[in-house]
Amino acid sequence: MYYFRNMAPTPKAKNIYARQAAWRKRNPWARSVEFARRRCTDEKHKDYLFYGGRGLAVELTSEEAGRLWARDAASTMRAPSLDRVDSDKNYTFDNCRYIEKSINERLPHLSVEQLAALAIAVDAGAIYI
């Protein structure tokens, strides 16, 4: 619901926003799946050309993303990011993982073993990202 600048939100609207915020807090992985889905389906999205335009699709459900979140201990990360292990394949349970956003942005083509070694080095303070 959109408001004009001088209009205050109604109590009903405040309740809806509060419920949405509470749901997002209980399901933090849902946004990453939603954003991936938009990149793959919304032709007006700025990154559609690199995702949906290449034929990539999101086959990952919100429940599977929740299992990935728990498996990869994403709640302990500063900024968890949904990553595809093989960037030429779709978003599927077997092809996705959560990693730190800073690592995902700078080093997108590392194997699981290389990422684990990098994470240990970052935690030990040997490397700053």
Predicted TM-score (pTM) above 0.85: no
Return d(Cα 2, Cα 67) in angstroms, integer: 34
Q: Do 100 and 81 form a contact (C-beta atoms < 8 A)? A: yes
What single-letter amino acid sits at 19? R
pLDDT score at 113: 73
Return the exposure string of 97-122: e unless at least 16 CB atoms fall within 10 Å of the residue's CB, then b.
Answer: bbbbbebbeeeeebeeeebeebbeee
pLDDT score at 6: 59
Return d(Cα 32, Cα 84) in angstroms, integer: 12
The tens place of each residue's pLDDT in the chain, 129 residues long, gives 455 555 566 666 678 888 888 888 888 999 999 999 999 999 999 989 889 998 999 999 999 999 999 999 999 999 999 999 888 899 999 999 999 898 888 765 666 677 677 777 777 766 555
pLDDT score at 65: 95
